[in-house]
Amino acid sequence: MPRDEILAKIKRGCNLWSQVIPVNFIEAKNTNTAHIKIGFDAFEDSRMAYVHIPRYFPADMHINAERDWVKNPDFDLEETIAHEMGHVLGLKHSLDEGALMYSDNVPNRIKGLSPEDIKNAQAIYGVRVVPTTIGKRRNTKFSCIKNSLICYAPDTDIEFEDEKQQQLRYKI
């Protein structure tokens, strides 16, 4: 898989979390400034990935380089990155097979965050509020899908830093 495609999958996996909590993931300029170091390694077991999180950053995310991330539809790199980032954020495995944070790979699982994933992340970090710059600075409310915790904001491309938002830098 080409490097630019891997980076795009990492960004999309991280953005699943950034859409619902006030944490921005950005690519670090070098590994010295990264909070999360991502590497592709040969594994001696069947795991797809794992993350080692010391008491303080940087965390080390290891992706199984021997998996066929391109041809095998059961191995979704974007979802795997999002799952491991969930651990970096402090989430544990879920008992819900429909959750991204479920401990095993579930073929045909609906992609993205489940209501439980969102609830657990927001319990730690709070709800993401997306700012806009129309007139003076104000907050934009999320539009939510009826009967769901899944929400989206029309201004998701706007980056805004204040004391309520955190940044985590990653580097391959």
Residues catalogued as catalytic: 84
35 annotated ligand binder: no
Residue among 56, 61, 97 nearest 82 (CA): 61
Rounded distance between C-alpha atoms, residue 6 and residue 9, angstroms:
5
93 annotated ligand binder: yes
101 annotated ligand binder: yes
Joined together, the tokens standing for residue 76 give 């979704």
62 annotated ligand binder: yes
| H/E stretch holding 84 | helix 77-88
Binding residues for Ca(2+): 60
Binding-site members for Zn(2+) are: 62, 83, 87, 93, 101
Q: Which residues are annotated as a binding site?
A: 60, 62, 83, 87, 93, 101
